[in-house]
Amino acid sequence: MTDVSRYCTLVRSKDAGPFMLTLDFFFVDAAAREALVPFLSPERIGELYGVDAASVEVYELRDINALKISFPRRVVSGDLGDTDITGGQQYALVVEMIEGLDLP
């Protein structure tokens, strides 16, 4: 069990346009970033969010100890069956995954 706030000062999700979802991670420091980045690979995120790993883009912003991950939405925003129009609560899955890690 890991307290996510010991590693991240902010984890959030949001639509990047109606067709894409984006996750932002702001880490406490470089050590926290380096500890978590291996768990935030396209494969891992693809599996967690049910999307093809090849469609997952990861951007590391080392200057500000941040990471951005973008991928197509499961359902286009507002389409029949969508449950989260702004994508604002989709970060929950990755927070749950991080909290389940056995980190020092």
Is residue 57 close enough to count as binding another protein by CB under 8 A? Answer: yes
SS3 60: strand
**Would you state the structure tokens that stand for residue 38, as one six-digit string?**
């291996």
**CA–CA separation, 82 vs 76, rounded Å?**
7
Measured from the CB atom, the residue of 41 and 104 that comes closer to another protein is 41
**CA–CA separation, 69 vs 67, rounded Å?**
7
Among 32, 33, 45, 73, binds another protein (CB under 8 A): 73
Measured from the CB atom, the residue of 22 and 36 that comes closer to another protein is 22
Strand 57-61 relative to strand 66-72, pairing:
antiparallel
Which residues of this protein are in contact with another protein, per CB under 8 A?
14-20, 22, 24, 26, 57, 59, 61, 63-64, 66, 68, 70, 72-86, 89-90, 92-93
